Amino acid sequence: MIATINNFQVDLSKPIDISIPLSNTDANPIAWYIEKPVIDPVRFGEWVGKVSEGMSSTNFNNILFNPHGHGTHTECLGHITREFYSINQLLKQFFFIAELVSIELEDQDRDFVVTKEALVSALEGKTPEAIVIRTLPNAEDKLSRKYSHTNPPFLDEDAALFLRESGIQHLLIDLPSVDKEKDEGKLLAHKAFWNVTHVNNLNSDARLDATITEMIYVSEDIPDGTYLLNLQIASFENDASPSKPVLYAIVNTEI
């Protein structure tokens, strides 16, 4: 099915899902010192909400998870502000032109960092609505990696500032956070991208409509380039929601 969006033609029959599914298995990725998700049937006395156990006509599960630590999620600036802001209220559009770029990490005294210089080189002057960052090396174990206490790679503050000043509204990356795991709560990249200077009294020019999506996975067979992004979230009134970003290849730009 070919659709025309913003003078781009895309094939909606060929979605490229760059989210990581959430499961209650040891294969689920984990960050921030928590345990794996819990998916269990509801129990009332001897009754169990699971068809295979013979007591229920339906499967009826409770799910306990953390959006920030258990997989692909999209967050708004409410993640770092004293005042409550909901991703469900701030993200109101869901289709964007996105640029997928592969970035070699720079070793800065045992910190592996996405730098401004690498982003400038990869974007080649383009200013898309969204950027999808695939860090290199791109091992498949990103799908199940246990990040806690490992000092994962992160985004340099100047790189986040460059993205903001370029007008990029939506940042997607295959890391558990755009910031260093143990940074004494500075959150420099989050603050730079959202233009948050006062977390206790939000500045008037903070970017309420900008989002950060973390813990994606972009496989090796997907080439860098321009895509249509469908950024799907669940309707949680929370600073973050599990999400399902989907890319569609541009098949024609000559409309």
pLDDT single digits (tens) 140-167: 999 999 999 999 999 999 999 999 999 9
The domains of the chain are located at: 2-21+68-252
Among 66, 93, 203, 82, which Cα is nearest to 148's? 66
The CATH code that applies to domain 2-21+68-252 is 3.50.30.50
Among 119, 123, 115, 75, which Cα is nearest to 97's? 123
**Torsion of the alpha carbons at 65, 243, 217 and 68, rounded to the nearest 10:** -40
Q: The pTM is what?
A: 0.96
Residue ranges, the chain, pLDDT below 70: 3, 253-255
pLDDT the model gives residue 111: 97
pLDDT the model gives residue 254: 55
Instruction: Dig out the tokens for 180 from the structure.
Output: 């260093």
Question: What mean pLDDT, rounded, does the chain reach?
Answer: 96
Q: 9 exposed, middle or buried (CB, 10 Å; 0-12, 13-18, 19+)?
A: middle
Q: Give the integer Cα–Cα distance in Å for 227 and 153.
A: 25
pLDDT the model gives residue 255: 47
Identity at 183, one-letter amino acid code: D
